[in-house]
Structure 1
Amino acid sequence: MTPMSAIGYTFDAFMVLVFVVFLLLVVLRPKPAIVQKKSQSGALDLKNELYEPFERDDQYGQLGAKPQPLLEYMRLAVLLVTVAPIKFVSASLCMLSVHLMCRASVILPKGLQAQTVASLGKVLCRLCLFCWGFVKFTWIIVEPGQLPKGVEPAAIVSNHISYLDIIVHCANSFPSFVARGNTKDLPLVGLISKHLQCIYVNRDFKKGNVAGVSGQVKDRMEMAAAGQLPASTRPLLLFPEGTTTNGKCLLPFKSGAFLAGAPVQPMILRYGEDRVSPAWESIEPLWHSILMLANPFHSVTARQLPIYYPSEEEKADPKLYAANVRDLMLREGGFKPSESTLAESRAYIALMEGRKPPANSLAGQALGIEANGAKPNGKPAKDDAGIADVPGASGAKKLE
């Protein structure tokens, strides 16, 4: 076989592979759902301001199902065959390297383990972001004014947009965070989360550990503020909104991050407006990952605000403290304030996917859905539009 023949066969194989991927994208792309728009009391307003924080406004739209020209699917197919494998393999190797580093750190003296893992982990996480396509990573530190000395922040509080937020923060401070209980059992990530000294919770379990989680966070923050934690303890990262948004709005802050009355480090994340938004809202994880991998370049800006030292009044009132820190981040980040909650996030996604919204959401109440699965008249909860009763919601699958 001559070199020219080999090149020809390779090109033909490449074109066949691109065409197969193109067909798969066209056939398997998300389809817009038949959205439930009518309740017992009238029309459901999907443009309700409570849903604004969860709307996707990138090129691929809600659920990633906005119709695209065939040329766009061909472009995605070419990038999935060429660029995406390189990004996926290189990013996976970075995560594997962090995992292996955590395993290998046991040979080091106790005093060096955490420091070594954190130092190398920051570099590998930054490299992982680069492999994902984040060629522009901007970290801005807002210089503080005259503030008390000798007091360190007990936690980092940040807005929450994407599953990539954790990697962004790890590239700077390699912090611990509050994670789902099954995180510690996940391949690769589980061991890393243990070295990060994460606090594990089950957010959907309402009887056993919710108060306990707040207590764990409060105790850890109090000890951090008092300087009672070992030097090897990682800083604690908290997302007080309780769920992700599209990055343009800021939800009300839960008070759990402020119960200790200790100083916090506010952080603001913003992702660039590219073809596909890194925001993890109204879209399935697999399709979102495909779009992220198939679009070569992304950008993110992290803005570190000065440490917020609470007043005596704020220390005595965690809700006031939370509201004031949120007001600061609203001003500094240029966010639009929203009064929405996790329940409304799940309701919006459920409605967009043609499913039944949670009973504790406004949409669920408008449809007459009760928590026990029955409508107020006692009949089985099969709504007029025949929305499938799927346990949980898309929002429940996220690591927050």
Structure 2
Amino acid sequence: MPVDINPFYHELHYSKYQIIKIVLMTIFVVPVRLVLVTFALSLGWVICKVTVQGLSDEELKKPLTGWRRWLQREFGPPVAQLVFFVLGFLFIRTKGQRASKKEAPVLVMAPHSSWTDALLHFLDPDITSPVSRMDNAQIPIIGTLVKFLQPVCVSRDVANSRSDCVNEIKRRATSCSESNNLPDSDEDRDVKNEGEWQQVALFPEGTTTNRKCLISFKTGAFQPGVPVQPVVVKWPNHFDCVTWAFVGPSVYKLIWLQLCQITTFVQVQYLPVYTPSDEEKSDPTLFANNVRHVMASVLNVPVTSYTYRDGVQFRRRYLASKQGWSAKIAIWNNLASKIGLTSQVLDDILKYIVQKQRSNDLVDSDWLEEVLGIQSDLPKNSDVRNALNEFLPTIHNSEGKISLEKFVAITSLWCCKQEKNLDSLKYLLTICGVDDLNHISEESVNRCVQTIFESNSDHHSKNEIITDMFKLSYVNFETFKHHVCRKQGDFLT
């Protein structure tokens, strides 16, 4: 896996041309587009509301029939394409041929990178049933649009939701295959209509990325063991304001920037149907990986083992790195209060760590839990476990491992704050390799200062501390404390 690829980060770069265009479009075009988008969405909502009106949740678990199915097929795609058009999608290109339900009951789409990806389900008159978060169906207005598509709903917070989702995908996929094989006699027509689900379409990555690679595919689409059609989505735009990643512009900013573009290009390419072998039918993970490699080769991007959880952790680490020490200490204070740690106890823990470890050691959360006296069998949603999950990103390194140097830094600073003095900084110096606190090298001081001020963008302050300190012939612990306290006296307040 290429270590230099981060699929969860997206940064916008503005040229002078883009800045001028955004200003002019915001003044003259965006207001008009907002009115048109509001009209198109309102029209779509009315059609969706009429289509699902009077249907219970149980009835929505069956394919629509009669006039409801007619409305779904005849009005859904045109209205969605109107929304696309007024958003600036003047050219939506498709390549290849979409397979029939009989050929491929499931469409697997990748990469998932934009908030507008959901509209792609409407491109064809025979719209697809997506896999959607359960929460989406509860959102006012949006929930009606979601119900109109009759999605397979899944929730990351409900224990049995994923297995239920997989079972529903299997049911719909197999019903597609079976209904296409039924005869057209009057005797069997009702049975066939009951099984006429649309193709199930989903983004197996399970989250959005920046399209620089394909992350791990979830196996839900591949567990039925039926043929699937891979569909790759490309956004060939010079200015990328469609990518919605874990860290990057908010969805509201992306909508605004997208409205400011004269046109936005998207290309949907249908690849040949992938029929699983017997081995792949019995191993959904192998099936998913093989399909992913086919799609990655077409996109000319690598595959990685990253998952949704990695994205969550990256976002937590990123936000933690942007926080000042006051915020980090507050997070640590919350955990310490939950497990009853005092500065005296933590002083003993720090003494143990610096005697046994060095700062280049990377440890896992189990080791840290044992040192802190946290029970390993605590429920996932307990207060202590939630506080620990909030704290861990503040001491992770770039690879997601726990850095003892960062742990000692934040813990010693917390102790400094509790005791109203900086004596606990000796543990940070010790773990950074200082053996004699009366003669501290410039290299060790630089390392400690970089650790303490890592979240502070004021590089001048960091360099000033080191420069001022080493105007003297040597540095001892008292000198070190004096200069750090002068710059970061808020540790003690």
TM-score under structure 1 length normalisation: 0.70
Match of 2:165 in 1: 213
Match of 2:178 in 1: 226
CA distance in 2, matches of 1:248, 1:174: 28
1:155–1:166 distance in 2 versus 1, CA, 3 Å: same
When residues 106 and 191 of structure 1 are mapped into structure 2, their CA distance, relative to the original with a 3 A threshold, is closer
2:8 is matched with which residue? 54
1:291 positional shift: 1.1
- Deviation (angstroms), 1:267: 0.5
Match status 1:122 vs 2:77 = yes
Structure 2 equivalent of residue 157 of structure 1: 108
Alignment pair present for 1:303 and 2:269:
yes
Question: CA 1:384/1:125 → structure 2, altered by over 3 Å: closer, same or farther?
Answer: farther
The aligned counterpart of 1:328 is 294
The count of corresponding residues between Structure 1 and Structure 2 is: 324
2:401 corresponds to which of 366, 379, 396: 366
Distance 1:225 1:235 in 2: 10
Structure 1 position 306, deviation (Å): 2.0
Q: Percent identity?
A: 23
Q: 1:290 to 1:153 in 2, by over 3 A?
A: same
Greater Cα offset, 228-237 or 315-324: 228-237
What is the CA deviation profile of residues 84-116 of structure 1, one whole-angstrom value per residue up to 9, with x for unaligned ones?
Answer: 122222223222212111233469994131232
Cα distance in 2 between the residues matched to 1:240 and 1:328: 14
Structure 1 segment 1-400 matched on structure 2, within 5 A:
48-51=3-6, 53-56=7-10, 62=11, 64=12, 73-105=19-51, 110-142=65-97, 151-159=102-110, 160-172=112-124, 173-203=126-156, 205=157, 207-227=159-179, 230=194, 232-281=196-245, 282-353=248-319, 354=322, 363=398, 365-368=400-403
Mean Cα deviation higher: 286-295 or 169-178: 169-178
Judged with a 3 Å threshold, the aligned counterparts in structure 2 of structure 1 residues 326 and 104 are, in CA distance, closer, same or farther, namely: same
Deviation string 1:242-288 (CA, Å, 9 cap, x unpaired) is 21122232122121211110111210100122323311122211111
Q: 1-side partners of 2:141 and 2:257: how far apart? A: 23
Q: CA separation of 1:75/1:380 partners in 2, compared to 1, >3 Å: closer, same or farther?
A: farther
Aligned-residue offset at 1:129: 1.0
2:220 is paired with a residue whose SS is helix
- Partners of 2:256 and 2:121 lie apart in 1 by 23
Whole-angstrom CA distance in 2 between matches of 1:91 and 1:368: 49
Aligned residue for 2:354?
none
Q: Is the 8 A contact 1:50 1:339 kept in 2?
A: no
- Change in Cα spacing, 1:247 to 1:68, as seen in structure 2 (3 Å) is same
Distance in 2, matches of 1:86 and 1:220, equals 41
- The residue type equivalent to 2:199 in the other structure is P
1:155 Cα deviation from its structure 2 partner: 1.3
Aligned-partner residue type, residue 219 of structure 2: S
> Residues 320-346 of structure 1, C-alpha deviation per residue, up to 9 Å, x if partnerless?
111111121122232322222223323
Q: Is the 8 A contact 2:101 2:177 kept in 1?
A: no
| Range 374-383 or range 165-174, more displaced | 374-383
**Once the 2 structures are TM-superposed, how far is the Cα of residue 49 of structure 1 from its aligned partner?**
2.8
Q: Secondary structure at the match of 2:274?
A: coil
Cα distance, 1:384 vs structure 2:
5.8
**Cα offset, 1:143, TM superposition:** 8.7
Tell me, what secondary structure is at the counterpart of 1:255?
Answer: coil
- Greater percentage in helix: 2
Q: In structure 2, do the counterparts of structure 1 residues 106 and 350 end up closer, same or farther at CA, with 3 Å as the change threshold?
A: closer
Instruction: Name the stretch that deviates more: 132-141 or 354-363.
Output: 354-363
Flag structure 2 segments of 5+ consecutive residues without an equivalent.
Answer: 55-63, 180-191, 329-388, 415-450, 456-493
Q: How far apart are 1:183 and its partner, in Å?
A: 1.1
Do the aligned partners of 1:54 and 1:345 also contact (CA within 8 Å) in 2?
yes
Normalised to the residue count of structure 2, the TM-score between the two structures is 0.58
Letter in 2 for 1:167: L
Query: Aligned partners of 2:15 and 2:90: how far apart in 1?
Result: 26
- Using CA pairs below 8 Å that are at least 6 residues apart, which structure has the higher relative contact order? 1
Instruction: Answer whether contact 1:122 1:171 (CA < 8 A) is retained.
Output: yes
Secondary structure at 1:178 match in 2: strand
Aligned residues of 2:33 and 2:259 also touching (Cα < 8 A): yes
Shift of 1:299: 0.5
Between 73-82 and 299-308, the greater mean CA deviation after superposition = 73-82
